[in-house]
Structure 1
Amino acid sequence: MTSAVGVRIGWADLPASVRAAVEEILGDRVVAAVSQAGGFSPGTADRVRTAGGRRAFVKAAGAALNPVTPELHRREARNTAALPADAPAPRLIGWHDDGDWVALVLTDVEGRHPTTPWREDELATVLGTLGRMADLLTPAPVPDAPSAADLLGDDFSGWRRIAADPPADLDPWATGRLDGLVTLAERGLAALAGDTLAHVDIRADNLLLDADGRVTVVDWPHACRGPAWLDTLCLLANVRLHNGRYPLLDRYALDTGAEPAQLTAVLAGITGFFVDAARLPAPPGLPTVRAFQRAHADALLPWLRERLDG
């Protein structure tokens, strides 16, 4: 299984000025740092401990590593700061931005990622958390968050780009219905209306389960306003990636409360994004992301076919 694992630098690799800024936010000297796996940021993702025993989670990146990542960190800082205190998310302690390097200092969350392939008990726990989170984040507490349609508009144009330049290895089923997939993804974009703050990147490595079964949702740069069921669909896509043709998947999809046709249309948009993105050169500092996107394309295209063809 292709995992969401990138190539990171560590705490010691940060510029001295950035480390000093983080220590000023924490009010103490960092004496230990342990890099965390998961995710694709080429920057740091470290659980740190200060001389006085305070713990925090630090993520930082500069434009030379990847030109997009610092802006994602800025968005995450703004989004996380606006979340209500009872949201199942880390709290923002503080952040540093010198125009090049951006560092976020967040509460350290004890926990582990859900087991993959997904276990039914852990999946049920996460689904319950996402339902409660959608209720809590409606209306969206980040008033300037983009709409899901604005955020995902270019992504949902994947099938249109594929139709204009089909890859030689495109699945024959998709090749034979490209016009229909373009139209379906457009319907999916139109189905993304809503005023729930959605995380939009729900997958196992962005979730932490603690010893008491509580779920924390981490990494909020892509938060947007959309339907209450959008994060649940993202989670089910991750289940399809890790578990294949999971018997309960379509039942869980029905339980979202969304119209089945809406879910299928949004799934078409998501699938088109992965099929299209997987064929592109790797972005700077993210050498593993295209293989991860290819794995998603290979997992989601059969699910889309099943939903359309029965």
Structure 2
Amino acid sequence: MNARIAWAGLPAEVRAGVGAILGEPVVEAATQPGGYSPGSADRLRLTSGRRVFVKAVSGEVNATSAALHRREAAVTAALPPGLPVPRLLGAYDDGTWVALVLTDVDGRHPHLPWTGPELELVLDALAEIAVRTVPEGLELPRSGDSLRGAFMGWEKLRRRPLDGLDPWAAGNLDVLVELAGHGTQSMAGEALVHGDLRADNVLLAGGSAVLVDWPYASRGAAWLDSLSILIDVNTDSPRGRAEAVLGTRRVFFGVAPRAVTGVLAGWAGYFMDMSRRPDPPGIPTLRVFQRRQADALLGWLRLRLTPVT
């Protein structure tokens, strides 16, 4: 995780722009930990006692993060009522700094490693979202189209080998390339997909799970977000735990095993390829996290593929 910019450390014009959205002064700010953005993340208390959440980032520090904030503002504003997501109250954008003002969630991230009750709570919430189609008027990309390039990681690793790559992966590159391609094709569907779910994008509050950070929203298969959570579980849990949970969740019933394996292979290749790149501006811990995810996914893939390889 990265060190956050505090509310008081934001430029005066950004705080003034947010203040214009709020309509009243800020009397207290609490910086929130976690995440992989180089920007701020603060719960604010206002003079009326009302609380809001504000996140801000500078395009000069990381242009991609600023673009993601703009995308998140557009998506969140268009999400229908009744979903377990924060509501967008307004956005500030001066061309360099982008700040989002959202309803506050008085909650916490799930514990890591994931506990059984918290995992069930989140997967139950995702099961409810899985039956929702993308609302009319909300233009979202297809999940497979969004991830087609990302899921070419094994092809890139085959062309430019990585020193120290797991011997099992190195000996099965052709299989992994084929599986990742199949994974892209297996994402088709009409469900609303968050697209970037892990513990730091979930808040537990009052016995409910709230999903935050929606810039990667897409239209795809109803089981994709549940699989993303299980990938997060797999990163910090004993091998085989995520696989065992997968077999108990209704959203996966009827899904071809090869489809799930293909998506896992696609993410593994993406994380492995990205982990060897230089740190992105302002996010010095991301590559280490991506390598941990890649290594853990390789263990899961080996578990699923051992009978046939």
TM over 0.5: yes
1:34 is paired with a residue whose SS is strand
Find 1:309's aligned residue among 302, 306, 309. Answer: 306
1:271 is paired with a residue whose SS is helix
Find 1:223's aligned residue among 214, 217, 226. Answer: 217
Q: Is the 8 A contact 2:240 2:300 kept in 1?
A: no
Distance 2:136 2:231 in 1: 26
Q: Is the 8 A contact 1:114 1:207 kept in 2?
A: yes
Q: Does 1:98 align with 2:100?
A: no
Find 1:177's aligned residue among 157, 163, 172. Answer: 172
Deviations 1:81-136 (A, max 9, x none): 11111101000011111111110000000111111111111111111100101213
**What TM-score does the superposition give when structure 2 sets the normalisation length?**
0.95
Distance 1:196 1:76 in 2: 18
Deviations 1:242-281 (A, max 9, x none): 1121446334246323211100011100110011111110
Match of 1:202 in 2: 197
Deviation at 1:142, TM superposition (A): 5.9
Deviations 1:134-163 (A, max 9, x none): 213x13556321111121111101001000
Distance 1:207 1:33 in 2: 21
Matched pairs, number: 304
- Long gaps (5+) in structure 1: none
Distance 2:99 2:157 in 1: 37
Find 2:229's aligned residue among 230, 235, 239. Answer: 235
Match of 1:187 in 2: 182
Match of 1:69 in 2: 65
1:60 is paired with a residue whose SS is strand
Q: Is the 8 A contact 1:233 1:253 kept in 2?
A: no
Q: Is the 8 A contact 1:198 1:226 kept in 2?
A: yes
1:68 is paired with a residue whose SS is helix
Deviations 1:5-42 (A, max 9, x none): 12321111211111011111111111211110111111
Task: Specify whether residues 142 and 177 from structure 1 end up closer, same or farther in structure 2 by C-alpha distance, changes over 3 A only.
Answer: farther
Deviation at 1:198, TM superposition (A): 0.5
Q: Is the 8 A contact 2:36 2:286 kept in 1?
A: yes
1:272 is paired with a residue whose SS is helix
Q: Does 1:128 align with 2:124?
A: yes
Residue type of the alignment partner of 2:292: A
Deviations 1:162-202 (A, max 9, x none): 00011110000011111121111011111111111111111
Distance 2:119 2:231 in 1: 12
Q: Is the 8 A contact 1:77 1:104 kept in 2?
A: yes
Task: Specify whether residues 140 and 157 from structure 1 end up closer, same or farther in structure 2 by C-alpha distance, changes over 3 A only.
Answer: farther
Find 1:17's aligned residue among 9, 13, 17. Answer: 13
**Pairwise CA RMSD:** 1.3
Q: Does 1:52 align with 2:23?
A: no
Runs of 4+ deviating beyond 6 Å: none
Q: Is the 8 A contact 1:79 1:142 kept in 2?
A: no
Residue type of the alignment partner of 2:293: H
Q: Does 1:112 align with 2:101?
A: no
Q: Is the 8 A contact 1:84 1:141 kept in 2?
A: no
Residue type of the alignment partner of 2:45: R
Q: Is the 8 A contact 2:79 2:138 kept in 1?
A: no
Residue type of the alignment partner of 1:263: V
Structure 1 window deviating more from structure 2 (281-290 vs 51-60): it is 51-60
Residue type of the alignment partner of 1:252: L
- Long gaps (5+) in structure 2: none
2:18 is paired with a residue whose SS is helix
Paired residues for 1:141-290 under 5 Å: 143-210=138-205, 212-247=206-241, 249-253=243-247, 255=249, 256-257=252-253, 258-290=255-287
Q: Is the 8 A contact 1:195 1:226 kept in 2?
A: yes
Residue type of the alignment partner of 1:93: L
Task: Specify whether residues 236 and 141 from structure 1 end up closer, same or farther in structure 2 by C-alpha distance, changes over 3 A only.
Answer: farther
Distance 2:137 2:116 in 1: 32
Q: Is the 8 A contact 2:153 2:272 kept in 1?
A: yes
